Amino acid sequence: MLTTTAAFTVSQAQAAGNLNVICSADVVICEQLKGDFEKQHDIKVNMVRLSSGESYAKIRAESRNPKTDIWWGGTGDPHLQAASEGLTQEYKSDKLGDLHEWAQKQAESSGFKTVGIYAGALGWGFNTDIFKEKGYKEPVCWADLLNEELKGEIQVANPNSSGTAYTTLASLVQIMGEDKAFEYLKELNNNISQYTKSGSAPVKAAARGETGLGIVFLHDAVAQAASGFPVKAIAPCEGTGYEIGSMSIVKGSKNLDNAKVWYDWALSPEVQSRMKDAKSFQLPSNKAAEVPKEAPKFEDIKLIDYDFTTYGDPKTRKALLERWDDEIGAIAN
């Protein structure tokens, strides 16, 4: 049981009322956060779980009459887009100085309208039983996913709804160049059985034996392995992108004081150390938080210098998604 009462001020402890939260992470961690927060505060949390792209779309659609107070989790690109469009508002938490440099940079680049709460590298997870049974070669590079033997064995999310899939798209563009990345994606489409709505769904399908491989954040693949499924996580040999999972307060929040209570609470080491209990194995942003032993180590992964500012920019993001719709979505299986 998490006990962090002493970490909160009297005003926080006395806060009451409601809080409307969008959670863009796995449903298990979303439910754990809601339960822990309500146990420690006299605040009722109304939470909805949506993927990053869906969350951004909802907040944008409701901008004239916001129904959400805080957006927790999901990839940083749509958070940065929301910040640049004035959909979220500045807040400098007292805990900002306790965070890793990458989390602080995320806040600074957005004008303190969002902040990094965790980080995770991109890769894939494959079902080792399926691969052994069918004699497939273990895919260790992006190029290996184009092997003809994997036709119909791969799932990845749709980048319009999924932050994971948008990070995949933006990472490939940065690794290969835009035209070559889209040539790769067209060829990869031959092996795709389904473009899912949620970013973590592909590796869950692989874990259940419904597909051979899912392109996901590595911590999502590790979570399936930790749950006892025959899943192996791979970081691609050519290099890969990564996410800075983020948190933002919605501009025009009707429960602003309570949103700030959640924001400060969610940045605390006690709360971030609890994420592993929900089999959430990202790297926490608070320097004092416990790093799960299962978390993929960035020093063991060939990471690209992911350009969050460029690929979180609304124009860049819109152009890439439109091109994906025209060239990949139009031919999707």
Same domain, 249 and 161: no
Same domain, 171 and 263: no
Same domain, 234 and 285: no
Same domain, 112 and 126: no
Same domain, 19 and 156: no
Same domain, 133 and 192: yes
Which residue carries 């100085």 as its tokens? 97
| H or E, element range at 21 | strand 16-23
pTM, two decimals, is 0.86
Instruction: Please state, in angstroms and rounded to a whole number, the distance separating the CA atoms of residues 241 and 123.
Output: 8
Same domain, 61 and 113: yes
Same domain, 113 and 141: no
Q: Is residue 37 part of a domain?
A: yes
Per the CB < 8 A criterion, the answer to whether 203 and 214 are in contact is yes
Per the CB < 8 A criterion, the answer to whether 120 and 243 are in contact is yes
Q: Is residue 159 part of a domain?
A: yes
What is the structure's pLDDT at 333? 61
Q: How many other CB atoms are there within 10 angstroms of residue 177's CB atom?
A: 11
Q: Is residue 301 part of a domain?
A: no
**Residue 86 is part of a domain; what is its CATH number?**
3.40.190.10
Same domain, 85 and 230: no
Q: Is residue 32 part of a domain?
A: yes
What are the distances in angstroms from CA 281 to CA 8, 54, 85?
25, 23, 31
What is the structure's pLDDT at 50? 96
Q: For the segment 245-291, what is each residue's pLDDT rounded down to a tens digit?
A: 999 999 999 999 999 999 999 999 999 999 999 999 999 999 999 99
Q: How many other CB atoms are there within 10 angstroms of residue 331's CB atom?
A: 11
Beta pairing partners, 119:
244, 283
Q: Is residue 282 part of a domain?
A: yes
Query: Which DSSP string do the residues of 105-126 spell out, in sequence order?
Result: HHHHHTTSS-EEEEEEEEEEEE
Q: Is residue 298 part of a domain?
A: no
Average pLDDT, the chain: 94
The structure tokens listed for 276 are: 């592993």
Angle at 116 between CA 115 and CA 118, to 5 degrees: 155
- Residue 233, domain extent: 121-241+313-331
Q: Is residue 321 part of a domain?
A: yes
What is the structure's pLDDT at 16? 76
Cβ burial, residue 1 (10 Å; 0-12/13-18/19+): exposed
What is the structure's pLDDT at 221? 97
Q: Is residue 19 part of a domain?
A: yes
Query: Which DSSP string do the residues of 228-271 spell out, in sequence order?
Result: T--EEEE--TT-B-EEEEEEEEETT-TTHHHHHHHHHHHTSHHH
Please list the ranges in the chain whose pLDDT falls under 70. Answer: 1-15, 333
What is the tally of structural domains in the chain? 2
Instruction: Please state, in angstroms and rounded to a whole number, the distance separating the CA atoms of residues 132 and 25.
Output: 31
What is the structure's pLDDT at 105? 94
Find, among 229, 51, 26, the residue nearest to 126 by Cα: 229
Q: For the segment 59-105, what is each residue's pLDDT rounded down to a tens digit?
A: 999 999 999 999 999 999 999 999 999 999 999 999 999 999 999 99
Same domain, 160 and 188: yes
Same domain, 213 and 326: yes
Instruction: Please state, in angstroms and rounded to a whole number, the distance separating the CA atoms of residues 222 and 161.
Output: 23
Same domain, 230 and 114: no
